[in-house]
Structure 1
Amino acid sequence: MSTHVVQPGWFTVNVFNRAVSWLTRRGVSIWGSRVLAVRGRKSGQWRTTPVNLLTVDGQQYLLAPRGHVQWTRNMRAAGGGELRLGKNVDVFTATEVADDDKVPLLRAYLKRWKAEVGVFFNGVGPDSSDAELRRIAPDHPVFRITVTN
């Protein structure tokens, strides 16, 4: 398994993520934003972070542009969590997508959010070849979301 992680900077943690989370908690989705809540794999406490919810062919996905970060590790351990938008809370289970199946999902994600997260994909974009997208697939966990409530 890849250990690729791009840590967020001060501005992202203290300004951008807080602003997006604040708006999303109040029901204002910024380009598909949700607040992901997942139980910590060690503490069992709820951990939250803003995420971009990707929908492809009617199926929902969470993709980690920064790589194998804390929420992805917690998701693997918990097997699901909650997606929050305002007062709406969707409880879900999560299934990790195999690297070979990520290419169309990476392409769709980059097509929608490249301006926001493209820097984390090492020069690969929505117009890159399937081979280039497959090459970076191990660095970016993807989870298929199934809402259970």
Structure 2
Amino acid sequence: MTSTVIEQNGFERLFNRLMSWLARHGLGPMGMQQLIVRGRSSGQERTAAVNPLPLDGELYLVAARGETQWVRNARAVGTVVLRKRSRRSAYVIEQVYGDDAVPVLRAYLKKWGFEVKSFFDGVGPDASVAELAAAAKAHPVFRLTPADLPQ
């Protein structure tokens, strides 16, 4: 498994904090939401702004920056919460690999390519199946299945 992370500079960290705050309050662009995941070591809630992708009756997350902390935490914990305003929805998270990730990445890049294209090394929505399957190794794709929120 590839362990590539596209690091953030200081401006990007500040910008992403702002986007997470906007997403939490329902002000983010194009369906952005705040991802909440428990830290795998600390157990504390960690947050990030994400763009959930509805596709063919399923909901997906794509890790545009690669093997980030939220990706590692989500794999370890197995569940995530998406928050928009006061609404919190819990999900079981399952990674999608290879050819199964291709249609998700293609749709994700069509919808959000303008925002994330710099992370995908020239791979766009019109890339071949092989190129998109290879991109899925560096940019994990996850299927979200609704789960009950803990009380």
TM-score normalised over the length of structure 2: 0.93
SS where residue 113 of structure 2 aligns?
A: helix
**What fraction of aligned residue pairs are identical, expressed as a percent?**
49
**Residues 22-60 of structure 1, C-alpha deviations (whole Å, 9 max, x = no match):** 222222241121110001111111111111111111210
- Structure 2 match to 1:94: 93
TM-score under structure 1 normalisation?
0.94
Structure 2 spans left out of the alignment, 5+ residues? none
Conserved in 2, the CA contact under 8 Å of 1:29 and 1:85? no
Give, in whole Å, the separation in 2 of the partners of 1:101 and 1:80: 20
Aligned twin of 2:27: 28
Runs (5+) with no aligned partner, structure 1: none
Q: How many residues align?
A: 148
Deviation at 1:111, TM superposition (A): 0.4
2:2 equivalent to 1:8: no
Moved over 3 A (4+): none
User: 1:1-149 counterparts in 2 under 5 A?
Assistant: 1-14=1-14, 16-149=15-148
Partner of 2:83: helix, strand, or coil? strand
The secondary structure found in structure 2 opposite 1:133 is helix
When the two chains are superposed, the root-mean-square deviation of aligned CA atoms in Å is 1.1
